[in-house]
Chains A and B, each alone.
Chain A
Amino acid sequence: MAATSLSRSGWQFRRPSIIPGFGLTLGFTIAYLTLIILIPLAGIVWRTSGLGFQGFWAIASDQRVQRALEISFGTSFIAALINVVFGTLVAWVLVRYHFPGRRIVDAAVDLPFALPTAVAGIALAAIYAPNGWVGQLLAPLGIKVAFTPVGIVVALVFIGLPFVVRTVQPVMEEIDREVEEAAATLGANRFQTISRVILPGLAPAILTGFALAFARAVGEYGSVIFIAGNIPFVSEIAPLLIVIRLEEFDYQGATAIAAIMLVLSFAMLFVINLIQAWSRRRYGYGV
Chain B
Amino acid sequence: MTLNRRSIFYAVAVAATLQFGASGFAYADTTLLNVSYDPTRELYKEYNAAFAKHWQAESGEAVTIQQSHGGSGKQARAVIDGLEADVVTLALESDINAIVEKSGKINKDWRTRYEHNSSPYTSTIVFLVRKGNPKGIKDWGDLVKDGVEVITPNPKTSGGARWNYLAAWAWANSEYGGDEAKVKGYIGELFRHVPVLDTGARGSTTTFAQRQLGDVLLAWENEAFLVGKEFGADQFDIVIPPQSILAEPPVAVVDANVDAKGTRKAAEAYLAYLYSPEGQQIAARNFYRPSKPELVPAEELKRFPELKLVTIDDPIFGGWAKAQPYHFGDGGVFDQIYKPASSN
Contact = CB atoms under 8 A, between A and B. Distances in A.
B157 A243 contact: yes
A114 B156 contact: no
Nearest to A66: B340
Interface in B153-174: 154, 156-157
Contact of A247 (B4, B11, B74, B340): B74
Interface of B is mostly: loop
Interface size class of chain A, counting residues whose CB lies under 8 Å from the partner chain = 35 or more
Contacts of A249: 73, 76-77, 80, 98, 102
Given A107-B3, A147-B213, A244 B157 contact: yes
Interface in B299-332: 328-330
Contacts of B136: none
A245 B339 CA distance: 18
B141 interface: no
A126 B206 CA distance: 10
Interface stretch (B182-190, B194-202, B230-238): B194-202
A107 B4 contact: yes
Contact of A114 (B4, B71, B206, B330): B4
Nearest to B12: A114
A130 B330 contact: no
B211 A130 contact: yes
A229 interface: yes
Interface in A213-240: 225-226, 229-234, 240
Contacts of A111: 4
B211 A126 contact: yes
Contacts of A132: 211
Contacts of A229: 195-197
B22 interface: no
A232 B8 CA distance: 37
A235 to B, nearest CB: 9
B156 A247 contact: yes
B204 to A, nearest CB: 11
Interface in A44-69: 63-64, 67
B341 interface: yes
Contact of A248 (B8, B198, B210, B330): B330
B203 interface: yes
Nearest to B8: A114
A103 B330 CA distance: 51
Contacts of A1: none
Interface string B48-71: 000000000000000000000001
Contact of B330 (A125, A234, A240, A253): A253
Contact of A231 (B197, B329, B330): B197
Interface string B1-17: 10110011001000000
B102 A234 contact: no
**Most chain B CB atoms below 10 A, which of A63, A230, A246:** A230
A131 interface: yes
A35 to B, nearest CB: 20
B211 A131 contact: yes
Nearest to B335: A64
Contact of A244 (B11, B156, B194, B195): B156
Contacts of A250: 330
A147 B8 CA distance: 31
B156 A63 contact: no
Contacts of B112: none
A244 B3 CA distance: 40
Interface string B120-160: 00000000000000000000000000000000001011000
A129 interface: yes
Contacts of A253: 330
A129 B7 CA distance: 31
Nearest to B2: A107
A152 B252 CA distance: 39
B329 A248 contact: yes
A253 B330 CA distance: 10
Given A125-B211, A131-B212, A244-B154, 17 more contacts: A63-B340, A64-B338, A67-B340, A114-B7, A132-B211, A225-B199, A230-B154, A230-B198, A231-B194, A232-B197, A233-B339, A244-B156, A244-B157, A246-B74, A247-B71, A247-B73, A248-B73
Interface of B: 1, 3-4, 7-8, 11, 71, 73-74, 76-77, 80, 98, 102, 154, 156-157, 194-199, 203, 206, 210-213, 328-330, 335, 338-341
